[in-house]
Amino acid sequence: MTLMLLDSASLWYRAYFGMPDTLLSPSGEPVNAIRGYLDMTARLIGIYKPNRLVACIEGDWRPSWRVELFPEYKANRIDLAGDEEEPDTLAPQIPILLDLLEAFGIPLVGVDDFEADDVMASFAVREVGPTKIVTGDRDLFQLVDDKRGVSVVYLAKGIANHDLVDLKWISQKYDIPGERYALFAMIRGDASDGLPGIRGIGDKGAAIIAKQFTTLEDVMKAAVKGDERLTPNARKKLLESSEYAKIAPKLVYCALDVALPKIDLKLPKRPKSLDEIYQYQKDYGLGTSVDRLISALNW
């Protein structure tokens, strides 16, 4: 009864950079991201045997409420047109991929003014587990919950060598209590999202603090009081970043209350005709990638 949540943007980026750009449609258009996404999805279905599947997409990659809190949020990714920077040959593949997923009957969910992370987090708390969140993004480690069976299929090393992240994995990797990853991330910061964290405190310092405290609010109270669990240097840096510390939890924590659509999440059943899917396969030269997903769905 496993629910699998696909962090779609993470998957198509990994597919785009991981698959050769010589994979072209009959008309010469790159299709490496499409084929890689389909291949990964088929393989993951084969490994984890989910009975529910959702492809989660961005409603907004820079939600207004996060940008209002912190204007620099992901500002490092903005191109000259004010949009998210994407490789020129990736962007045209995304609409085709999304149309093909719809043809397969795989639910696509994105919610206005929320990131895919927020959508996945809300599904993870709403739906009965076990839940597998597929991503290459460490931010989602905060959702890991052994009691509810929520784990992260982490693709940083590729599909063949991926990690299945539970609380023990987080604890061993970062030397912190596994359930405190979000606190660790708030302090450490995330350059890829333009989040500074507590300036001057890196991974090791953040891990030391996360071992001693459970929330950033408690950490800041301790800094103000001169708590000896914090070194004088750490207290100084925390107090210097006190304004950022006030907003960090809302920036870093995934939203858990996104208004999700009420849809059937079960693996799609074979349609009466596969003509539409085979037409995509022919038009875009998707070959065995389409066949693999058809096979994985037991069609």
- Record: fold of 178-252: DNA polymerase; domain 1 (1.10.150)
Cα separation, 290 vs 286, in Å, equals 6
Task: Write the burial class of residue 105 (CB in 10 Å: 0-12 exposed, 13-18 middle, 19+ buried).
Answer: middle
> In which residue ranges of the chain is CATH 1.10.150.20 found?
178-252
Letter for the amino acid at 288? T
Record the tokens describing residue 49, joined without a space.
Answer: 């045997």
> In which residue ranges of the chain is CATH 3.40.50.1010 found?
3-166+255-296
- Percent of the chain clearing pLDDT 70 (strictly above): 98
CATH architecture of 3-166+255-296: 3-Layer(aba) Sandwich (3.40)
Reported pTM: 0.95
User: How big is the chain by its Cα radius of gyration, in Å?
Assistant: 21
Cα separation, 77 vs 158, in Å, equals 23
Cα separation, 118 vs 25, in Å, equals 34
Task: Write the burial class of residue 47 (CB in 10 Å: 0-12 exposed, 13-18 middle, 19+ buried).
Answer: middle
Cα separation, 112 vs 64, in Å, equals 10
Which pLDDT score, from 0 to 100, does residue 188 have?
97
Which pLDDT score, from 0 to 100, does residue 80 have?
57
Which pLDDT score, from 0 to 100, does residue 81 have?
54
How crowded is residue 63: how many other Cβ atoms within 10 Å of its Cβ?
A: 20
Q: What is the pLDDT of residues 51-110, one digit of tens each?
A: 999 999 999 999 999 999 999 999 988 875 566 777 889 999 999 999 999 999 999 999
| Residue 276, helix vs strand vs coil | helix
